[in-house]
Structure 1
């Protein structure tokens, strides 16, 4: 299948991961197990997922003038991602995430945004030609929301399709929602965006309807092992995910989003694209790490 160009705009972090039996309580020190240092950041993770799964990807982001940032860019380039529009912040350090993973595969994450927090509209404007050549723009919320709003507005003016993974969760302006082709919150993010606690298909429908009425064309609420809830053209369904034994859920959502945009760029239906994304995310949770857990196209049975 022929893929159209994909523009991913977002964060690049270095993830420092410790495996442990359980999360520490406030004031508690525990001895963890294995330590890993991996390339991460939701934007970079989604770019890696998209390119490994067959996409033609340009990444727009910002790094610090330090070893973490230089390594991150080298790794992205090695993946085959166009990194010509990654800017360098000479003041702030590159982003870092501290991740604890318990025995059940659940994670707890604290992010120091660093240079990601200074990605500006001016930084994005350098990639204007790439935007012209791309059909889809994929973003998240680990960069400044005013920058996300600006990019969505410019992209829609150029008749591009904007996909937003609203993570980490934050309240969003109606103007931004009106500029979205597709949004992919998980249950927690959907609740923060709509005020509806998502626990099942009925509550997912309520939350998705609110987002749709605010102007989002397609709403997908990811629901972990249960799969993904889809609302499009007034019709809803749950597209189930493969059953696997989860080891680490870090970057499962990023893998889902990267896979989703690739499938859409190839002209697949939204249902087919979600099924493809579910398969990719299911593989990722059986592995430890962020970008290190992302599968390649050949691993997914279409």
Structure 2
């Protein structure tokens, strides 16, 4: 059985509960059980969600040769993720701090260290690619050279460019041009989502586009049948923190679409999966198994 290649970022994430935004200054707070630290990051979130759902994953990432790097490897093993492609070639592991309020709004602070200047070993990528039938390449610099390699191997690429404002965006254009499955958020779009999706498809010929609409659900555009419609959000439990919601939507869509080839059902299940996930504090927590998700759906 072929695997999904996931190449993307890992960091140590600390979440902090606050009363509200903006945060009022006080010299000291004691948010009992309001501070949690875990392994997360876009790549790790995706790999863990896919693994929890039952997909087989090759996870490629870079961490530091430090205490936190060892913590990542230990947690990956506990989460059923192989450490074969976790490379400790940085002096320090990236870190993030996420503030979130009682309404689930969040503010992220991410320290990438020097990861944007470091390459991931291409021989390890080629090795992982041979066993894979889908390449999820997160939009962090060290995955950029692998877009062409996946295309040359005729392996479909899925990516999420998150907040985007311009089709000629210097950082994200390569990813948008290469993607078979392209996700993004509506937070900063210069056009209504329907118009933007059509513009993306006309420019890049993208087969499948999903635009996350936050509390309003998601938009799906499918090139083969000229489909472009919105799917409403659902609520399965109280919202605690929306961090990682987009990663969970992206992961679960790719899991179900890869199994069924049906993007419509895949997005419906992904919306349900993401709805349940945001009832937890951390970005890499709250993932359901496929069996549990199916029970929730019915």
Give the equivalent residue in structure 2 for 1:265: 258
User: Once superposed, what is the RMSD of the aligned Cα atoms?
Assistant: 2.1
Contact map agreement 2:15 2:281 (CA 8 A) in 1 = no
Counterpart among 145, 149, 154 of residue 159 in structure 1: 154
List aligned pairs for 1:88-237, cutoff 5 A. Answer: 88-91=88-91, 93-114=92-113, 116-120=115-119, 122-141=120-139, 143-144=140-141, 147-167=142-162, 169=164, 171=169, 172=171, 174-188=173-187, 191=189, 195-196=190-191, 203-215=192-204, 216-233=206-223, 234-237=226-229
Counterpart among 254, 258, 275 of residue 282 in structure 1: 275
1:300 is the counterpart of 2:290: no
TM-score (ref. length: structure 2): 0.88
C-alpha distance in 1, partners of 2:153/2:258?
17
C-alpha distance in 1, partners of 2:203/2:30?
45
Question: What is the CA-CA distance between 1:48 and the residue it aligns to?
Answer: 0.3
SS of the residue corresponding to residue 39 of structure 1 reads strand
Contact map agreement 2:9 2:43 (CA 8 A) in 1 = yes
Question: What is the CA-CA distance between 1:175 and the residue it aligns to?
Answer: 4.5
Question: What is the CA-CA distance between 1:279 and the residue it aligns to?
Answer: 1.1
List aligned pairs for 1:28-43, cutoff 5 A. Answer: 31=29, 33=31, 34-43=34-43
Give the equivalent residue in structure 2 for 1:83: 83
SS of the residue corresponding to residue 38 of structure 1 reads strand
Q: How many matched pairs? A: 285
Q: Comparing 178-187 with 238-247, which one deviates more in the overlay?
A: 238-247
C-alpha distance in 2, partners of 1:175/1:253?
20
Question: What is the CA-CA distance between 1:226 and the residue it aligns to?
Answer: 1.8
TM-score (ref. length: structure 1): 0.87
Question: What is the CA-CA distance between 1:247 and the residue it aligns to?
Answer: 1.2
Q: Structure 1 residues 124 and 255 mapped into 2: Cα distance closer, same or farther (>3 Å)?
A: farther
Question: What is the CA-CA distance between 1:148 and the residue it aligns to?
Answer: 3.2
> Where do 5+ consecutive residues of structure 2 fail to align?
none
Question: What is the CA-CA distance between 1:26 and the residue it aligns to?
Answer: 8.7
Question: What is the CA-CA distance between 1:217 and the residue it aligns to?
Answer: 2.0
Question: What is the CA-CA distance between 1:269 and the residue it aligns to?
Answer: 0.4
Cα deviations by residue, 1:88-116 (Å, 9 ceiling, x for unpaired): 1243x101001101110111001001254
C-alpha distance in 1, partners of 2:175/2:247?
21
Question: What is the CA-CA distance between 1:285 and the residue it aligns to?
Answer: 0.9
Q: Structure 1 residues 125 and 75 mapped into 2: Cα distance closer, same or farther (>3 Å)?
A: same
C-alpha distance in 1, partners of 2:21/2:227?
40
Contact map agreement 2:194 2:228 (CA 8 A) in 1 = yes
Question: What is the CA-CA distance between 1:5 and the residue it aligns to?
Answer: 1.0
SS of the residue corresponding to residue 87 of structure 1 reads strand
Give the equivalent residue in structure 2 for 1:250: 243
Give the equivalent residue in structure 2 for 1:199: none
C-alpha distance in 2, partners of 1:32/1:235?
50
